[in-house]
A and B are shown apart, each in its own frame.
Chain A
């Protein structure tokens, strides 16, 4: 096949170029644009909007089944008299998680991504339209359960918080380094199960710090309540920081 025009003449054959080859007008356009540029622009818009409302925004990421929704439920129940929350729930399908959050009385909106494996800044920008943002202190965005794809998509959040449960194995930070590098805080969940598992907590923390030397780590169990105070203190400090920045 002719590599210039894709016609069926073989190289070496007498290929008379009596038909016009495209290169007569062919030209190269330099682009130099980030592939995530569109998402990043929308994420910046979200960030500006959230900052104007002094809103602390967290993007919660983890593998499916780490206990993100249970952790959120417990957090909302314990802190809803202290802070005003709003929650965006991302899942491929069902409104199960949003129903659980709605039962706590906190405003919630479910985003179903269909076949999509992550939330993006566009979905979040529209997702918050129904919330009373000026009356909200903390927006929790529960991303699609997936330790790969959500790492690349900025939603306009202040912090990515990665939840890792002890039933998943201590080497997850090495297996999915992108996500642990993008996160500022790691919550090690379900520590009430540690006596029943061969999970090396110190090793897990060392692995996380290997891919992200600056990561903060809190060990907790939203079931037993152990460690939840440290997480609440972290949230409190985050809200204070936002208020000072305004």
Chain B
């Protein structure tokens, strides 16, 4: 459940940015979560309700955008889509791929009043 501490950071960041803009309320919060980040959407959504309760983010809509995973084969350098970290290169069958995309966990924007 490291999603709880991640979500706590989402709420803290949202409030920090909203205050800086002299906003009255936070209407929505958008985050980007990579397919290989090891973070579960459901756990973030659940934790968001808990963490935002009683704060100016209470009731805000949480939007989760997904980034697909991509890996590069260390043998033939072909890039392919990765849905897990255990993947076979579709071109040469190599088992060793380095991740080039999909490990992001980013707070992208928020909407305030």
The interface of chain A, by Cβ under 8 A from chain B, is 6, 22, 25-39, 116-118, 120, 148-149, 151-153, 174, 177-178, 181, 207, 209-211, 213
In the bound complex, residues from chain B placing their C-beta under 8 Å from that of A27 are 21, 23, 111-112
Chain A interface, DSSP helix/strand/loop, else mixed: mixed
Interface check B105, CB cutoff 8 A: yes
| Binary contact track B3-38/A, C-beta < 8 Å → 1, others 0 | 001100110110001100101110100010000111
Residues from chain A with a CB closer than 8 A to the CB of B109 are 28-32
Q: Cβ of A209 and Cβ of B96 under 8 Å apart?
A: yes
Number of A-B pairs whose CB atoms are under 8 Å? Answer: 96
The answer on a CB contact under 8 Å between B108 and A26 is no
CB distance from B109 to the nearest CB of A (A): 5
Please determine whether A35 and B105 come into contact, CB atoms closer than 8 angstroms: yes
* Residues in chain A near residue B23, CB distance under 8 A: 27
> In the bound complex, do residue A35 and residue B85 qualify as a contact, i.e. CB atoms below 8 Å apart?
no
Looking across the interface, which residue of chain B has its beta carbon closest to that of A34? Answer: B106
Known contacts A29-B17, A177-B84; is-contact A149 B1 (Cβ 8 Å): yes
Chain B's closest residue to A38 (CB) is B9
Point out which of B21, B31, B113 has the most chain A C-beta atoms below 10 A from its C-beta. B113
Q: How many residues of B contact A (CB 8 A)?
A: 39
Contacts A29-B17, A34-B104, A35-B6 aside, 10 further interface pairs with beta carbons under 8 A come to: A26-B27, A29-B111, A31-B13, A31-B109, A34-B106, A35-B10, A36-B6, A118-B5, A177-B84, A209-B95
Partner of B106, one of A25, A33, A149, A152: A33
Shortest distance between the CB of A110 and any CB in chain B (Å): 20
Q: Counting CB contacts under 8 A, is B2 at the interface?
A: yes
Residues of chain A within 8 A (CB-CB) of B6 are 35-36, 152
A36 contacts across to B, CB distance below 8 A = 6, 9, 105
Which residues in B have their C-beta under 8 angstroms from that of A116? Answer: 5
Chain B, 66-113, CB within 8 A of any chain A CB: 74, 84-86, 95-96, 98-99, 104-113
- Counting from the closest, the 9 A-B pairs by CB-CB distance are A177-B85, A149-B2, A213-B96, A35-B105, A178-B38, A22-B113, A210-B95, A31-B107, A33-B107
